[in-house]
Protein backbone atom coordinates (compact mmCIF):
# COMPACT_ATOMS: atom_id res chain seq x y z
CA UNK A 1 0.00 0.00 0.00
CA UNK A 2 1.22 3.49 -0.76
CA UNK A 3 1.21 6.27 1.78
CA UNK A 4 1.34 9.91 0.73
CA UNK A 5 1.88 12.96 2.86
CA UNK A 6 0.32 16.09 1.41
CA UNK A 7 1.44 19.29 3.15
CA UNK A 8 1.06 17.69 6.54
CA UNK A 9 1.38 19.83 9.66
CA UNK A 10 0.64 18.99 13.26
CA UNK A 11 0.57 21.20 16.33
CA UNK A 12 0.30 20.15 19.95
CA UNK A 13 -1.94 22.72 21.55
CA UNK A 14 -1.24 23.24 25.22
CA UNK A 15 -2.81 25.67 27.65
CA UNK A 16 0.09 28.11 27.44
CA UNK A 17 1.79 27.30 24.18
CA UNK A 18 1.41 25.55 20.86
CA UNK A 19 4.21 23.35 19.54
CA UNK A 20 4.29 22.91 15.78
CA UNK A 21 5.88 19.45 15.71
CA UNK A 22 5.37 18.74 12.00
CA UNK A 23 5.55 21.58 9.52
CA UNK A 24 4.30 21.24 5.94
CA UNK A 25 5.74 17.85 5.07
CA UNK A 26 5.03 16.12 1.76
CA UNK A 27 6.28 12.78 0.46
CA UNK A 28 5.11 9.68 -1.42
CA UNK A 29 6.17 6.39 0.17
CA UNK A 30 5.99 3.47 -2.25
CA UNK A 31 5.32 -0.19 -1.60
CA UNK A 32 8.34 -2.48 -1.86
CA UNK A 33 10.73 0.05 -0.42
CA UNK A 34 12.38 0.49 2.94
CA UNK A 35 12.72 4.08 4.17
CA UNK A 36 14.66 5.55 7.06
CA UNK A 37 13.67 8.78 8.79
CA UNK A 38 16.47 10.33 10.78
CA UNK A 39 16.80 13.56 12.73
CA UNK A 40 17.65 14.98 16.13
CA UNK A 41 15.56 14.41 19.23
CA UNK A 42 12.46 16.58 19.08
CA UNK A 43 12.54 16.99 15.29
CA UNK A 44 9.05 15.49 14.91
CA UNK A 45 9.72 11.89 13.84
CA UNK A 46 7.45 10.13 16.32
CA UNK A 47 4.71 12.68 15.77
CA UNK A 48 4.83 12.11 12.02
CA UNK A 49 4.81 8.33 12.49
CA UNK A 50 1.81 8.58 14.81
CA UNK A 51 -0.09 10.54 12.18
CA UNK A 52 0.77 7.90 9.56
CA UNK A 53 -0.50 5.24 11.97
CA UNK A 54 -3.80 7.09 12.17
CA UNK A 55 -3.51 7.77 15.90
CA UNK A 56 -4.47 11.38 15.25
CA UNK A 57 -5.28 13.53 12.23
CA UNK A 58 -2.96 16.23 10.86
CA UNK A 59 -3.91 19.74 11.93
CA UNK A 60 -3.38 20.74 8.31
CA UNK A 61 -2.89 18.76 5.12
CA UNK A 62 -3.70 15.12 4.51
CA UNK A 63 -2.27 11.64 4.68
CA UNK A 64 -3.50 9.39 1.89
CA UNK A 65 -3.28 5.65 2.55
CA UNK A 66 -4.24 3.31 -0.26
CA UNK A 67 -5.95 6.19 -2.02
CA UNK A 68 -7.99 7.35 0.97
CA UNK A 69 -7.33 10.15 3.45
CA UNK A 70 -6.81 9.06 7.06
CA UNK A 71 -9.71 11.45 7.76
CA UNK A 72 -11.98 9.05 5.90
CA UNK A 73 -10.50 5.77 7.10
CA UNK A 74 -12.29 3.98 9.88
CA UNK A 75 -9.58 4.24 12.54
CA UNK A 76 -9.89 0.72 13.86
CA UNK A 77 -9.86 -0.70 10.38
CA UNK A 78 -6.78 1.35 9.49
CA UNK A 79 -4.93 -0.02 12.51
CA UNK A 80 -6.17 -3.55 12.02
CA UNK A 81 -5.76 -3.95 8.26
CA UNK A 82 -3.38 -1.39 6.86
CA UNK A 83 -0.79 0.00 9.22
CA UNK A 84 1.08 -1.56 12.06
CA UNK A 85 3.67 -0.05 14.35
CA UNK A 86 6.77 -1.62 15.87
CA UNK A 87 8.23 0.04 18.95
CA UNK A 88 11.61 0.23 20.66
CA UNK A 89 10.33 -1.67 23.70
CA UNK A 90 8.69 -4.47 21.64
CA UNK A 91 5.27 -4.17 23.35
CA UNK A 92 4.72 -7.90 23.68
CA UNK A 93 2.12 -9.24 26.10
CA UNK A 94 4.22 -10.50 29.04
CA UNK A 95 1.79 -13.20 30.18
CA UNK A 96 1.35 -14.72 26.73
CA UNK A 97 3.80 -17.14 25.15
CA UNK A 98 5.61 -16.38 21.90
CA UNK A 99 3.04 -18.27 19.89
CA UNK A 100 0.11 -16.66 21.72
CA UNK A 101 1.64 -13.23 21.09
CA UNK A 102 1.99 -13.95 17.38
CA UNK A 103 -1.53 -15.40 17.15
CA UNK A 104 -3.14 -12.55 19.04
CA UNK A 105 -4.40 -10.61 15.97
CA UNK A 106 -5.64 -13.88 14.46
CA UNK A 107 -7.50 -14.91 17.59
CA UNK A 108 -9.14 -11.47 17.68
CA UNK A 109 -10.41 -12.19 14.18
CA UNK A 110 -11.69 -15.57 15.36
CA UNK A 111 -9.58 -17.43 12.85
CA UNK A 112 -9.85 -21.20 13.35
CA UNK A 113 -7.25 -22.69 15.67
CA UNK A 114 -5.76 -24.82 12.92
CA UNK A 115 -5.38 -21.94 10.46
CA UNK A 116 -4.03 -19.58 13.13
CA UNK A 117 -1.41 -22.13 14.20
CA UNK A 118 -0.32 -22.66 10.61
CA UNK A 119 0.01 -18.95 9.94
CA UNK A 120 1.76 -18.28 13.27
CA UNK A 121 4.26 -21.02 12.43
CA UNK A 122 4.89 -19.57 8.99
CA UNK A 123 5.56 -16.04 10.23
CA UNK A 124 7.70 -17.31 13.13
CA UNK A 125 9.89 -19.08 10.60
CA UNK A 126 9.96 -15.91 8.51
CA UNK A 127 11.72 -14.10 11.37
CA UNK A 128 14.11 -17.00 11.87
CA UNK A 129 12.85 -18.32 15.18
CA UNK A 130 12.58 -22.09 15.65
CA UNK A 131 9.62 -24.01 17.11
CA UNK A 132 11.47 -24.13 20.46
CA UNK A 133 10.36 -20.55 21.00
CA UNK A 134 6.63 -21.18 20.72
CA UNK A 135 5.98 -21.88 24.40
CA UNK A 136 8.46 -19.44 25.91
CA UNK A 137 7.53 -16.15 27.59
CA UNK A 138 8.87 -12.84 26.23
CA UNK A 139 10.77 -12.05 29.43
CA UNK A 140 12.97 -15.09 28.83
CA UNK A 141 14.07 -13.92 25.39
CA UNK A 142 16.81 -11.53 24.31
CA UNK A 143 15.85 -8.09 23.00
CA UNK A 144 16.55 -9.13 19.41
CA UNK A 145 14.38 -12.22 19.80
CA UNK A 146 11.56 -10.18 21.34
CA UNK A 147 11.68 -7.74 18.46
CA UNK A 148 11.49 -10.64 16.01
CA UNK A 149 8.36 -11.89 17.80
CA UNK A 150 6.88 -8.39 17.48
CA UNK A 151 7.64 -8.40 13.75
CA UNK A 152 6.10 -11.86 13.39
CA UNK A 153 2.94 -10.59 15.10
CA UNK A 154 2.82 -7.72 12.61
CA UNK A 155 3.22 -10.19 9.76
CA UNK A 156 0.43 -12.36 11.11
CA UNK A 157 -1.76 -9.28 11.14
CA UNK A 158 -1.04 -8.97 7.42
CA UNK A 159 -0.45 -5.23 7.43
CA UNK A 160 0.92 -3.73 4.29
CA UNK A 161 2.48 -0.66 5.87
CA UNK A 162 4.99 -1.20 8.66
CA UNK A 163 6.08 1.77 10.74
CA UNK A 164 8.93 1.23 13.17
CA UNK A 165 9.93 3.80 15.81
CA UNK A 166 13.53 3.17 16.87
CA UNK A 167 13.03 -0.62 16.53
CA UNK A 168 16.70 -1.29 17.25
CA UNK A 169 17.15 1.35 19.97
CA UNK A 170 17.80 -1.27 22.64
CA UNK A 171 19.81 -3.73 20.54
CA UNK A 172 23.50 -4.38 19.92
CA UNK A 173 24.93 -4.05 16.42
CA UNK A 174 24.53 -7.74 15.48
CA UNK A 175 20.86 -7.84 16.47
CA UNK A 176 20.32 -4.45 14.87
CA UNK A 177 21.66 -5.68 11.54
CA UNK A 178 19.45 -8.76 11.76
CA UNK A 179 16.27 -6.81 12.53
CA UNK A 180 16.93 -4.28 9.78
CA UNK A 181 17.61 -7.10 7.32
CA UNK A 182 14.25 -8.66 8.19
CA UNK A 183 12.40 -5.32 7.96
CA UNK A 184 13.97 -4.53 4.57
CA UNK A 185 13.12 -8.01 3.30
CA UNK A 186 9.46 -7.38 4.15
CA UNK A 187 9.64 -4.48 1.72
CA UNK A 188 11.70 -6.17 -0.96
CA UNK A 189 10.23 -9.70 -0.85
CA UNK A 190 6.69 -9.12 0.46
CA UNK A 191 5.95 -5.72 -1.05
CA UNK A 192 5.29 -3.94 2.24
CA UNK A 193 5.95 -0.25 2.67
CA UNK A 194 8.47 -0.08 5.52
CA UNK A 195 9.37 3.16 7.31
CA UNK A 196 11.96 3.08 10.08
CA UNK A 197 12.64 5.99 12.42
CA UNK A 198 16.19 5.70 13.70
CA UNK A 199 19.12 7.51 15.28
CA UNK A 200 21.52 4.84 14.05
CA UNK A 201 23.47 5.62 10.85
CA UNK A 202 24.05 1.87 10.33
CA UNK A 203 20.27 1.38 10.08
CA UNK A 204 19.80 4.30 7.72
CA UNK A 205 22.57 2.94 5.51
CA UNK A 206 20.53 -0.19 4.75
CA UNK A 207 17.41 1.71 3.69
CA UNK A 208 16.52 2.43 0.07
CA UNK A 209 15.94 6.09 0.86
CA UNK A 210 16.82 8.29 3.82
CA UNK A 211 14.75 11.30 4.85
CA UNK A 212 16.08 13.74 7.38
CA UNK A 213 13.86 15.87 9.63
CA UNK A 214 14.67 19.11 11.33
CA UNK A 215 12.21 21.29 13.23
CA UNK A 216 9.27 19.31 11.85
CA UNK A 217 10.30 19.48 8.19
CA UNK A 218 12.54 17.63 5.75
CA UNK A 219 16.00 18.99 5.16
N1 LIG B 1 2.24 15.33 23.82
C2 LIG B 1 2.97 16.41 23.49
N3 LIG B 1 2.59 17.65 23.89
C4 LIG B 1 3.29 18.75 23.54
N5 LIG B 1 4.41 18.71 22.80
C6 LIG B 1 4.84 17.51 22.38
C7 LIG B 1 4.15 16.29 22.71
N8 LIG B 1 4.82 15.26 22.14
C9 LIG B 1 5.87 15.79 21.51
N10 LIG B 1 5.89 17.14 21.64
C11 LIG B 1 6.86 18.08 21.04
O12 LIG B 1 6.80 17.93 19.63
C13 LIG B 1 8.11 18.00 19.07
C14 LIG B 1 8.38 16.71 18.28
O15 LIG B 1 8.40 15.59 19.17
P16 LIG B 1 8.61 14.10 18.65
O17 LIG B 1 8.36 13.20 19.79
O18 LIG B 1 7.80 13.90 17.44
O19 LIG B 1 10.16 14.12 18.27
P20 LIG B 1 11.14 12.92 17.86
O21 LIG B 1 11.83 13.37 16.62
O22 LIG B 1 10.40 11.63 17.82
O23 LIG B 1 12.20 12.91 19.06
P24 LIG B 1 13.02 11.65 19.68
O25 LIG B 1 14.13 11.39 18.70
O26 LIG B 1 13.53 12.20 20.96
O27 LIG B 1 12.09 10.52 19.85
C28 LIG B 1 9.06 18.23 20.24
O29 LIG B 1 9.31 19.60 20.33
C30 LIG B 1 8.28 17.74 21.43
O31 LIG B 1 8.66 18.41 22.59
MG1 LIG C 1 10.58 9.84 18.89
Q: Domain ranges in the chain? A: 3-218
Decide whether any atom of ligand 1 lies within 6 Å of the 56 Cβ: no
Q: How far is the CA of 42 from the centre of ligand 1 (A)?
A: 5
DSSP annotation of 167 reads T
The Cβ of residue 136 has, within 10 Å, a number of other Cβ atoms equal to 15
pLDDT in the model for residue 159:
77
- Mean pLDDT of successive 10-residue stretches along the chain, which has 219 residues: 97 95 98 97 97 96 97 93 94 97 94 96 96 98 97 92 96 94 95 96 96 98
H helix intervals, the chain: 45-52, 75-77, 98-108, 113-126, 143-157, 173-188, 201-206
Q: How far is the CA of 87 from the centre of ligand 2 (A)?
A: 10
Chain length of the chain = 219
Q: 3-218 sits in which CATH class?
A: alpha beta
* Distance separating alpha carbons of residues 204 and 211, to the nearest angstrom: 9
pLDDT in the model for residue 219:
95
* Closest protein CA for atom 27 of ligand 1: 41
Mutational pocket test of ligand 1: of 19, 87, 218, the residue with most ligand atoms within 8 Å of the beta carbon: 19
Sign of CA dihedral 87, 197, 142, 127: positive
- pTM, two decimal places: 0.96
Helices 113-126, 98-108: axis angle to 10 degrees equals 130
Closest ligand to Cα 213:
1
Q: Is 161 left (phi over 0), alpha (psi -120 to 50) or beta?
A: beta
Amino acid sequence: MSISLKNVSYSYRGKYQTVRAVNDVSYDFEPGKCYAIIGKSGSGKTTLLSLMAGLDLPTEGEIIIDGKSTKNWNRNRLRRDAVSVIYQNYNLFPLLTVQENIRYPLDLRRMSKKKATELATKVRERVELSANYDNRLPAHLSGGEQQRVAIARTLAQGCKIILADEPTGNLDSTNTANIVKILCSLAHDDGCTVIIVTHDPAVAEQADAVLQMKDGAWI
